[in-house]
């Protein structure tokens, strides 16, 4: 795949414009930064953009994909859809958006200094998905909530057939008060440095919890999230590689 790269400090590879509503699609492209002070891969700078990336790689940015309106982006992406896309080695979070993030079909978010994916809004449940993907070895949470510039209980996740492994913080953090917020089906949640699954509100409402395998999560497999009769307990790592889970 072709490579778009920068060795110049604080350079973003691509910024959206103020061109109104649009769907922006990147297919089979690698993006990277080798600068001392990293810029962003794709950053929301204007317009209402639905971002789609297929078979792409984002390597070594401050944030690989940035719709962080509370910090450095001018706006957020209307939605972010990643298909078989890798986001790695960011000096902050891998993917941040104050709107929905949907991971599909072999996407891998790993090795980022902050959390893997941070998604949410200030006062509404933001629906996110992670299907047939791997979230691992990130320095914060694997999949995290976000509000007004900080982690908060303002988002929901549907996670299915995915690996959430060896993140320094929680594997999955979710849970808006009094709203349905979490669906887990057929996942491996193993070796995370805090909780495997952390519902930040005791009154948050899980939707589905079926056939998930847990083990070696430092603070426990679950917080504010009842066990399921279909739970599988892992006593050792189920992976043959700690660096390639897709």
20 vs 169, more confident: 169
**Residues 41 and 16: beta-carbon distance below 8 Å:** no
Q: How confident is the model at residue 119 (pLDDT cuts 50, 70, 90)?
A: confident
57-59 and 213-215 beta bridge pairing? unpaired
pTM > 0.85: yes or no? yes
pLDDT (average), residues 82-88: 98
Question: What is the token pair recorded at 212?
Answer: 């998930």
Of 23, 68, 11, residue with least CA distance to 45:
68
Asked if pLDDT for residue 228 goes beyond 50, the answer is yes
Radius of gyration from C-alpha coordinates of the chain: 17
Q: Which residue bears the tokens 């790269």?
A: 5
Query: pLDDT band at residue 203, thresholds of 50, 70 and 90?
Result: low
pLDDT at 149: 46
């Amino acid at each position: 795949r072709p490579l778009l790269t920068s060795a110049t400090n604080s350079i973003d590879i691509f910024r959206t414009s103020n061109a109104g509503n649009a769907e922006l699609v990147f297919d089979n492209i690698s993006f990277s930064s080798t600068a001392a002070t990293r810029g962003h891969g794709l950053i929301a700078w204007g317009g209402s953009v639905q971002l789609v990336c297929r078979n792409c790689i984002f390597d070594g940015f401050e944030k690989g994909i940035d719709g962080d309106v509370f910090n450095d982006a001018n706006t957020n992406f209307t939605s972010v859809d990643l298909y078989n896309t890798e986001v790695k080695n960011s000096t902050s979070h891998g993917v941040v958006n104050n709107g929905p993030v949907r991971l599909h079909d072999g996407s891998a978010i790993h090795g980022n200094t902050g959390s893997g994916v941070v998604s949410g809004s200030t006062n509404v449940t933001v629906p996110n998905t992670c299907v047939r993907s791997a979230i691992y070895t990130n320095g914060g949470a694997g999949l995290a909530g976000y509000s007004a510039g900080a982690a908060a209980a303002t988002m929901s996740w549907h996670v299915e057939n995915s690996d959430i492994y060896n993140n320094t913080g929680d594997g999955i953090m979710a849970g808006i008060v009094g709203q349905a917020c979490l669906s887990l089906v057929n996942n491996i949640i193993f070796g995370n440095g805090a909780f495997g699954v952390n519902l930040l509100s005791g009154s948050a409402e899980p939707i589905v919890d079926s056939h998930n395998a847990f083990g070696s999560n430092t603070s426990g497999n679950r917080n504010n999230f009842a066990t399921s009769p279909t739970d599988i307990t892992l006593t050792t790592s189920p992976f043959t590689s700690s660096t390639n889970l897709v």
